[in-house]
Structure 1
Amino acid sequence: MLTADVRGRWSRARRPGDPSSAAPWARLQAQDRQPAAPWQQGLPREQVSAQPWGDVPAQDAGNRHPWGRAEPTSAAPTVAPWGDVPACDISRALGWDRSIQPCDTLRLRLLYNPKPARKDIGTGQRYNRSDEFGQRYDAAGELAASLYRPGSLIAFDFGGARYSPSATAAVFFDFRFTPLRRAIQPVDSGTAESWGNARQLNQRMRLPWGRGSAKDPGIVIPYPDYAGPVYEIDPAVEPDILETYMIANSVSLVVLPGREPVDATGIKVARDIDAFAWTLSAELFGRTSLNLVRPDSSGPKTVELTINGWTWLFLVERYSTQGKFPSERFSITGVSRTQLLAEPYAPKRSAVNAADINAVQAATDQLENTGFTLSWDYTALGPPDWTIPAGAFSYQEQTALQVIARVAEAVGGVVRPARDSDGLAVVPRYREAPWAWATSVMDRIIPAEIVGQWGGEWSPQPSWDSCYVSGTTHGVAVAVRRTGTAGSAPSPDVFDDLITGTDAARHRGIAEIAKGGNQEIVTLSLPLFPQGGSAPGLVDPAHLCEVRDIDGTWRGLCLSTEISAEGVGASRVTQTIKLERHH
């Protein structure tokens, strides 16, 4: 490509015939300087033109009008009498006739044709076809072919710098590449969509079909036919579902009241639903630790065990030693302080009530002067309280704890000892009947994600739907029947001296019926989460638990709990529970 360079020089243009017209500048002449008015003091004018002030002359002083009584004028009565208005123009009436005739009867018809004229029919949108069958266009190859390659007839040497043509050169080269405009060519994509079965994800999280469960059971709706009190039960805390659970276990065993630490391993704490005390077993290192917990003349020593924030108080009842040179081994066993209310620490007594007494009062009297307290929530959780008539409550050669356990058993309850204080509580064995667990409020929720080991044992029992509960020398006789059944499969009859109230007999009958049916004893091993941390924490016997298993959610009653801490220092803590599951 050749390009000629044509240039033109710039210069100032001239305008011929334009004469110069200049206006000279000069100083202006001062004019009218004489007519000036200087400033001076003004002269006073018209000083005598003043209006003096004075008294106004009095005039018309005699023109006065005295006050007095007015004289009556026109006293004659002027009365306008009322009368009938004379009738006028009675004969003039407006009559109707057919004098008005219809006019303009010509009908007007408006013709309307909604179909417009056909216009611009030939104007349409033009379409272009793509290059369907042409040779495949290679844009990259065409671009590569347009590049300059040294070694041809003309060789360029740019010296490693970018080529910039001179603005005054006669000839310069243009290396730009402008691709040709080509028609669009269709391209067949090699990506194919295959059909098949969907992948199965989260097989453990299944949604079983069945009867729905109640949500927010804490919201109580009062019924108009019930005038009694309504109590709200706190629902179980939802556990945290995590991919990994990190727990820094902490275990400590000290002797009270000095809090001297004891070196121990192989610690186990256990209790079942019918026991009224927790049990402890541990192995000690060295005679120094054994001497700290060895009983003396003051009685057994009290030790405090803390596992992940959960605290227990135990009495060291027994210890054993075993040695073989050069090693020796020491082990101890202990129980909760509620054992002080039983043998061999508490005395045996005999008594009979001489007056009517409530069941709660009968159990509370056994703790008088012992330092222990009794908790019995007979208004909300149960079991109920009832009246025992005079002479019906009697016992011989029994300790305080035996008497309390007997009163609790009469109404279908159990004794729950306190872990870290001198106290105990009476709670129902079945807070809710097994056939009502689906809509009951649970105490603990156990997801399958935290269960390390599990097992089961089939333990079928006869299916009962009724029970006959009666007193002996005193009391009532009640036939308890499960709602919705005929009561044709009764359980063994129950006779107890303390069945002296209808509510007590009803709860005892429900507890006896609930023991029957197809049952499975399920064993679950799970970690003991720290107190105040993630749920479920410590599962106590008699707790109702909801297990969210892989195959579905089910509910059961905790029968026993065992906590083991193995190792020294960073111990491995495991909580093993047994649940009673009804099918």
Structure 2
Amino acid sequence: MAYIIEPWNGISLNLSDGPFTLSDSLSINLDFVWISFPPLPWVSPSITAEYTAPLFTAGIAGSSNLIQQIAALSTDDLRSVLWSTAGAAQQNSQIRFNVANTSDDARMSIWSLAESVAGSQVLPWNYTGTADGQHASVWGFALQSDRTGFVSGWVMNTRYRDRIATLDWFSVNLNGFIYDDSAAMLALLNNDNPLAINLDFSGVPAALESATKIRLQFGFVKPKRPSVPHDISRTITARKATPRDTTRLIPWGAGTSVWNNWNLPYPVDNGPPIPPDPIDPPARKIVYLIMNTLQVTDVATGTPLDIQGVNISVDIDSLSWKFSGTVYGQGTLDLVRPDEDGMKDIHVTINTHEWVFSIERYTSDEKFPTTKFSISGVSRTQYMAAPFAPVRSYTNSSATTAAQAANAELENTGFALAWPTAGDGDLPDWIIPAGALSYRDKTPAQVVAQIVTTAGGVMIPSMDADSWIIQPRYKTSPWNWDTVTPDAAIYIGMVRSRSARYEPAPAYDSCFVSGVSQGVSVDVQRAGSGGLNPMPDVLDDLITAAAPAISRGRNELAATGNKVVETLSVLIPEQGAAPGVLRPGQIITVTHDNPDSDYVGLVIANSISVQKAGGAEIYQSVTLERRA
């Protein structure tokens, strides 16, 4: 839209500091919008004011930029010559060459008719010869200068921009960081220092680069610098690089549908279920002979500790393993109790399975003649949670992935995450846009749990290392457990006792998962169910892609329906023998002599108890969740 500004011969612009260029002289194009940055706050829409004046047939002489805005003047109008018949001149001078007078008779030379000399130059006196015919031209038309090859019926707005621009060659900066110009752009927006520019074309030619337009460009100009690869992370992720520095007239880009229905319209018969690959089954014996061992040492000095009555436990929602035991003697207590340097670590070995715990508290039970203390502690992963880890608040300023954001919380702490994403039973990774991850007063473990639970995942703490395993709560949905390959197997002959309780719950078949301020919305349905019985909607700020929405919806549906929670008291064989120490999140099968009695369940908790001195009796109480 053109805005008429009067008077047109003077324009006063008061603008913030910024570079501008002048390219033409007869029109002013004011563009206050930088093509890759949102509009300036005081202008919307862009203002364009143009002043044009007709150019007549006179060309640009000598490529001069000094242009008078007047009509071209005809040159040499009064010098035209009419070529016509020349009047007769010196008619009286005509001489007829006749008989020459005789002279020099002595030489016997008779003068006769004179020979014609330079006869080729005989020209009738009534015609004027043409001079410099090769320079003949039609007077009244100005010649075009310095515009070789230009053909136009009218004056065209021919631009010569960028013809003298030179390219700066850089080597790619492979180890650099992605440039962030947001601070520089913000500084321009918040700059209140005035800058006055006066343009006055009243009768004074403007010395410009070209002759048809003036363009003032204000805004941030990126410095010339080498390119930096966008994917310079030290870990390779299967994802598409985030677009940056794209020239878009619409800041938010192309629109995409936020509604995805991942349910097949009708069930598909894939044939009979494929039996899972066999695992190493436990040895089936009538009697199991195991030499149980319990060893507890001080990590700092390696001193054996007199600790009995050991209990170790964990569940699927725990950030760490829990420990409790009984210490005999003040000397042993002094080696493990917390002091001004913090908590002390102990090393526990049960049938070659190892744990490391930090002792956080103790209580006394002094009765003559013995001195007995009860101690308790946690595995080292608890250091990333309250009250040991500091809290902070944060909002991501640039796009990242879920795995990168979770690992960033543990940077420089010595703790790590094992987050596989390639397998069918793994928790997916996804893109988190800028501003989507925001929290206040949280510890690193809380932030990682927030990210992981968004996609329906859990954090399984390590027994003796400073790490977690990240996986879905249900690596395989319960309705597919008949075809899954279990992580471990328990033979019913290894079970000392068992108990179970029935837990009824609605059997939902549809779950609507959606982001809040940004993201996607996905209706996750069990294939073939039709989604006729939906569960309450799930809303999460970090649902910014379809992959975490599908994973979250599947795990939410997997937890519904009638189920049986069963506890099995199972012996613990040595390292490498089935079933080993069972961890939460594992899918195990309980085998019987009659295969029809076999069933599959999900380990949701485990508790190990050493009942007698020296480890005479050691059992693990495994809690399973299975379908009713």
TM range (shorter): 0.5 to 0.7
Say whether residues 1:252 and 2:312 are aligned partners. no
Cα distance in 1 for residues equivalent to 2:586 and 2:279: 11
- Alignment-derived partner of residue 425 in structure 1: 469
Shift of residue 536, structure 1, vs aligned partner? 0.7
1:327 Cα deviation (Å)? Answer: 3.8
Residue identity in the other structure for 1:271: V
1:466 to 1:449, Cα distance in 2 relative to 1, 3 A: same
User: Is 1:489 equivalent to 2:537 in the alignment?
Assistant: no
Number of corresponding residues: 355
> Residue in 2 aligned with 1:294?
337
Structure 2 distance, partners of 1:519, 1:473, is 35
How far is 1:558 from its partner? 0.5
Q: In the TM superposition, what are the counterparts of 1:160-559 in structure 2 within 5 Å?
A: 214-215=274-275, 217-218=276-277, 236-380=279-423, 381-532=425-576, 534-549=577-592, 552-559=597-604
Q: CA RMSD in A?
A: 1.4
Q: 2-side partners of 1:413 and 1:525: how far apart?
A: 27
Gap regions ≥5 residues in structure 1: 1-210, 219-234
Q: Which residue of 2 aligns with 1:121?
A: none
CA drift of 1:570 comes to: 4.3
Compute the displacement of 1:326 (Å).
3.5
CA distance in 1, matches of 2:441, 2:519: 23
Give how far 1:424 is off.
1.4
How far apart, CA to CA, are the structure 1 residues paired with 2:317 and 2:331? 36
Off by >3 Å, runs of 4+ in structure 1: 211-215, 324-328
| Mapped contact 2:308–2:614 kept (Cα < 8 A) | no
Summarize deviations over 1:217-238 as a string: whole Å, max 9, x none.
35xxxxxxxxxxxxxxxx6321
* Alpha-carbon separation, structure 2, partners of 1:352 and 1:471: 17
1:342-384 residue CA offsets vs partner (Å, 9 max, x unmatched): 1111100111111111000000001111011111011113100
Q: What is residue 578 of structure 1 aligned with on the other side? A: 623
Letter of the structure 2 residue corresponding to residue 288 of structure 1: G
Deviations 1:552-578 (A, max 9, x none): 011110110011112112421001111
- 2: CA distance, partners of 1:285 / 1:462: 51
Whole-Å separation in 1 of the counterparts to 2:481 and 2:334: 50
Amino acid in structure 2 at the alignment position of 1:387 = I
Aligned to 2:470, the other structure's residue is in SS state strand
Q: After superposition, what is the alpha-carbon deviation per residue over 1:426-468, rounded to whole angstroms, capped at 9, x for unaligned?
A: 1110000000000011001111111110111001111110100
Aligned partners of 2:292, 2:622: CA distance in 1, in Å? 19
Q: Under a length normalisation based on structure 2, what TM-score does the superposition of the two structures give? A: 0.55
Specify the SS of the correspondent of 2:333.
Answer: helix
CA distance in 2, matches of 1:310, 1:275: 20
What is the CA–CA distance in structure 2 between the aligned matches of 1:373 and 1:345, rounded to whole Å? 17
Per-residue deviation, 1:516: 0.8
AA aligned to 1:449 is: G
1:237-268, Cα deviation, whole Å (9 max, x unpaired): 21111222111111111111211111111101
The answer to whether the 8 Å contact 2:328/2:370 transfers is no
Q: Residue 484 of structure 1 aligns to which amino acid in structure 2? A: G
Q: Given residue 498 of structure 2, which amino acid in structure 1 is its aligned partner?
A: W
Describe the superposition over 1:500-549 as per-residue Cα deviations: whole angstroms up to 9, x where unpaired.
110100010011111111100011011011102x3111111110011124
- Find the partner of 1:561 among 576, 595, 606: 606
Q: Whole-Å Cα distance in 1 between the matches of residues 494 and 274 of structure 2?
A: 24
Question: Match of 1:425, as an amino acid?
Answer: I
- Equivalent residue number for residue 8 of structure 2: none
**Partner residue of 2:73?**
none
State the AA in 2 paired with 1:275. S
**In 2: Cα distance, 1:213 partner to 1:299 partner:** 55
> What CA deviation, in whole Å up to 9, does each residue of 1:152-195 have, x standing for no partner?
xxxxxxxxxxxxxxxxxxxxxxxxxxxxxxxxxxxxxxxxxxxx
- Corresponding letter in the other structure for 2:445: L
User: Aligned equivalents of 2:396 and 2:279: distance in 1?
Assistant: 41
Whole-angstrom CA distance in 2 between matches of 1:540 and 1:325: 40
Query: Which secondary structure state, in structure 2, belongs to the residue aligned with residue 340 of structure 1?
Result: helix
Task: Tell whether the 8 Å contact from 2:330 to 2:371 is kept in structure 1 after alignment.
Answer: no
Tell me how far 1:484 sits from its aligned partner. 1.2
- Secondary structure, aligned partner of 1:260: coil
- What whole-Å deviation, never above 9, does each CA across 1:475-520 have from its counterpart, x for those lacking one? 1000000011021111111000000110100010011111111100
Instruction: Flag structure 2 segments of 5+ consecutive residues without an equivalent.
Output: 1-270
1:214 Cα shift? 3.8
Aligned-residue sequence identity (percent) comes to: 40
Please report how far the alpha carbon of residue 328 of structure 1 lies from its aligned counterpart in structure 2 after TM superposition: 3.4
Q: In structure 2, what is the Cα distance between the partners aligned to 1:290 and 1:580?
A: 39
Question: Which stretch has the larger CA shift, 438-447 or 327-336?
Answer: 327-336
What amino acid sits opposite 1:581 in the alignment? R
Say if 1:492 and 1:285 are closer, same or farther in 2 by CA, change over 3 A.
Answer: same
Q: Secondary structure at the match of 2:542?
A: coil
Counterparts of 1:299 and 1:478, CA distance in 2: 48
Larger Rg: 1
